[in-house]
């Protein structure tokens, strides 16, 4: 039998990203043993608090209102500036196509509505899948009701995800928009984004990718995929903090054509003229609606700066090694424990988390959290192990699974 503790020690000793763990805020003594939920809420960096304090004392505390328009980085420009930073580090997108604003839910609504409104006459179907994240399903239900569209559902295998074949089967001359998650929030399935985007375009529809579980974890190539639109969270693998604003991408050549529905003053051309009538600002700026959440963007910039140094390819390499190790440990357990891996075994089709299934996980997770071992739980019976490569060690994974194994053994 493999000695997983020894294996983890070796992997940690040779891990080229190991040093990044020291950049995260340590939990209070005794409050945390293993954190396996970086896909839900990333950890803060030690540089985050001083970066926030600098803004409070400096551009906010001392410069005050002048900071919106003065200084070397006026706040007015932060949605595009921080959008470009996220795009360069995590999205494979050239400048001028990404903003940081709102929440993922609101940005999804704005961009999906814009796409549906811009679709040619007769294109009245929105394609989505049954295992997409709830907010995506609800927002699209709302848009369908507003615009008289029909939702075309792809039935997803909950242990895998949407395939190119399934997309081919549903898209056609009535397709207005297809919305999918690049990494499925439950199974961790990594969709073939380039191929699915190509198929949707061949059918004449718009493609919108939800990157919440991708950004900062797996390489994303928005420009190379040729995708139209994308949205995603910054509080997961980008470590932006609870409720940090989302990012939204609109491909450069679509920016003139698409009109998002929340026409606010901050997305207007010349907002400070406060003139009559809405005229969209040029470029990606028109996606912005209201006053940018400056404080919420400070931790994102710290997280993105760290990701830039580490490099997304190195992050992905460690991510595969972490999820592979977790699967190996679970596979070594006696089959009578009844734990099943509900994520793709093929690393090329798997994102940064692994879901394992057992009927008792809903109650066991309470014990795990009390012990400071923190994965999360998703119905039905799924324990999600979210392994953020910059903040998670191999030893942490093995330790957490040994604690879980003890609970499974004592239940017998
Ligand atoms: C986390 C997540 C969201 C969250 O949206 P919010 O507006 O930030 O609450 C949306 N979609 C997916 C796929 C997610 O994983």
Please give the class, per CATH, of domain 4-46+311-410.
alpha beta
Q: Which atom of ligand 1 is nearest to the CA of 103?
A: 7
- Does 24 sit in the ligand 1 pocket, CB within 6 Å? no
Query: Residues in the chain with pLDDT < 50?
Result: none
For residue 107, the 8-state DSSP code is H
Distance, in Å, from the CA atom of 117 to the CA atom of 35, rounded to the nearest integer, reads 43
Distance, in Å, from the CA atom of 339 to the CA atom of 248, rounded to the nearest integer, reads 38
- Does 384 sit in the ligand 1 pocket, CB within 6 Å? no
Tokens of 43: 């950890």
Distance, in Å, from the CA atom of 162 to the CA atom of 194, rounded to the nearest integer, reads 13
165-204 burial, b at 16+ Cβ within 10 Å, e below that, comes to: ebbeebbeebbbbbbbbbbbbbbbbbbbbeebbbbbbebe
Residue 238 and residue 300 in contact, taking contact as beta carbons nearer than 8 Å: yes
Domain spans in the chain, listed from the N-terminal domain onward: 4-46+311-410, 73-308
265-316 pLDDT, tens digit per residue, is 999 999 888 889 999 999 999 999 999 999 999 999 999 999 999 999 999 9
Topology of domain 73-308, per CATH? 3.40.640
Q: Which atom of ligand 1 is nearest to the CA of 236?
A: 1
The size of the chain, in residues, is: 412
Best residue among 180, 233, 248 to mutate for probing ligand 1's pocket (most ligand atoms within 8 Å of CB) is 233
151: left (phi over 0), alpha (psi -120 to 50) or beta: beta
95-150 pLDDT, tens digit per residue, is 999 999 999 999 999 999 999 999 999 999 999 999 999 999 999 999 999 999 99
Distance, in Å, from the CA atom of 149 to the CA atom of 128, rounded to the nearest integer, reads 13
Active site residues: 133, 210, 235-236, 384
């Amino acid at each position: 039998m493999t000695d997983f503790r020894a294996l983890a020690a070796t992997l940690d000793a040779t891990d080229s990203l190991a040093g990044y763990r020291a950049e995260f805020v340590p939990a209070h003594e005794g409050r945390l043993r293993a954190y396996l939920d970086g896909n839900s809420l990333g950890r803060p960096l030690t540089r985050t608090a001083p970066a926030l304090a600098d803004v409070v004392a400096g551009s906010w505390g001392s410069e005050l209102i002048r900071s919106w328009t003065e200084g070397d980085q006026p706040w007015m420009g932060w949605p595009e500036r921080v959008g470009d930073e996220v795009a360069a580090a995590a999205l494979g997108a050239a400048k001028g196509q990404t903003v940081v604003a709102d929440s993922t839910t609101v940005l999804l609504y704005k961009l999906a509505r814009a796409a549906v409104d811009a679709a040619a006459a007769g294109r009245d179907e929105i394609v989505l899948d049954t295992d997409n994240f709830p907010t995506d399903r609800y927002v699209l239900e709302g848009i369908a009701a507003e615009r008289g569209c029909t939702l075309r559902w792809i039935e997803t295998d909950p242990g895998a995800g949407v395939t190119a074949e399934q997309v081919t089967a549903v898209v056609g001359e009535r397709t207005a928009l297809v919305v999918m998650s690049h990494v499925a929030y439950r199974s961790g399935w990594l969709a073939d984004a380039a191929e699915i985007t190509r198929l949707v375009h061949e059918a004449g529809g718009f493609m919108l990718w939800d990157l919440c579980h991708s950004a900062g974890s797996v390489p994303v190539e928005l420009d190379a995929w040729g995708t139209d639109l994308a949205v995603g969270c910054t509080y997961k693998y980008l470590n932006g903090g609870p409720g940090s604003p989302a990012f939204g991408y609109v491909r450069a050549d679509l920016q003139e054509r698409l009109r998002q529905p929340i026409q606010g003053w901050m997305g207007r051309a010349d907002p400070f003229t406060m003139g009559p009538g809405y005229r969209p600002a040029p470029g990606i700026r028109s996606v912005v609606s209201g006053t940018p959440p400056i404080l919420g963007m400070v931790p994102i910039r710290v997280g993105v700066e760290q990701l830039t140094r580490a490099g997304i390819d190195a992050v992905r390499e460690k991510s595969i090694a972490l999820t592979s190790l977790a699967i190996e440990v679970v596979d070594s357990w006696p089959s009578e424990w009844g734990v099943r891996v509900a994520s793709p075994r093929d690393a090329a089709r798997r994102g940064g988390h692994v879901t394992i299934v057992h009927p008792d996980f809903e109650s066991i997770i309470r014990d795990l959290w009390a012990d400071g071992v923190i994965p999360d739980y998703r119905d039905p019976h799924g324990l999600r192990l979210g392994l953020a490569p910059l903040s998670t060690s191999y030893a942490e994974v093995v330790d957490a699974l040994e604690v879980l194994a003890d609970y499974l053994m004592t239940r017998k």
